[in-house]
Amino acid sequence: MSINEYMSNKHRECDDVFSQAENFVAEDKWDEAHKHWQQFHGELEEHLTMEEAVLFPKFEQATGMTEGPTSVMRMEHAQMRALCDKLANAALAKNKEAYLGLSETLMILMQQHNMKEEQMLYPMTDRVLGDSGPVIQAMENHDS
């Protein structure tokens, strides 16, 4: 399996749980929404950490590019984390309007971010790193 396939699958998994949380908020089912929000937030943080701790450093080491695409991705990760903090607060306050507005913003940011990774960064990573097995294993273990 390529890095692109592996990480794109992770994107879809996160998106599915995120949508479920949003649907439960829309229906004022806050217990279910909270459960799915927690799951999404954990999966997203794990995904971002896999990239930042393993994938990006390996790409940067192989290419010598530290101010290129990985720099942009890290900046966008910070934006996503900030939005997640606001979303968590809206969920705790059971503020449906705020949650749904923030979730729309986060979804747009994630879609744009994922597209850049899936169409540019991951294919580049597959090309420069070659055998994806050890990289995927390292990401799963969070061990660079």
- Specify the CATH number for the domain of residue 31: 1.20.120
C-alpha count within 13 angstroms, C-beta hemisphere, residue 10: 24
Q: What is the pLDDT of residue 36?
A: 96
CB burial class (10 A; 0-12, 13-18, 19+) of residue 115? exposed
Q: What is the pLDDT of residue 17?
A: 96
Q: What is the pLDDT of residues 19-41, one digit of tens each?
A: 999 999 999 999 999 999 999 99
Residue 143 lies in a domain: no
pLDDT band at 99; cut points 50, 70, 90: very high
Is 144's pLDDT higher than 70?
Answer: no
Q: Please name which of 69, 47, 67, 60 lies closest in space to residue 119, comparing C-alpha atoms.
A: 69
For the chain, the domain total comes to 1
Helices 3-26 and 96-116, axial angle in degrees (round to 10): 170
Residue 77 lies in a domain: yes
Q: What is the pLDDT of residues 32-90, one digit of tens each?
A: 999 999 999 999 999 999 999 999 999 999 999 888 899 999 999 999 999 999 999 99
Residue 82 lies in a domain: yes
Q: Model pTM?
A: 0.92
The per-residue pLDDT of the chain, averaged, comes to 94
Residue 12 lies in a domain: yes
Residue 57 lies in a domain: no
Is 129's pLDDT higher than 50?
Answer: yes
Residue 86 lies in a domain: yes
**Percent of the chain scored above 90 by pLDDT?**
92
Q: Which domain does 20 fall in, by range?
A: 3-45+66-130
Q: What is the pLDDT of residue 94?
A: 96
Residue 99 lies in a domain: yes
Cβ atoms of 141 and 50 within 8 Å: the answer is no
Residue 56 lies in a domain: no
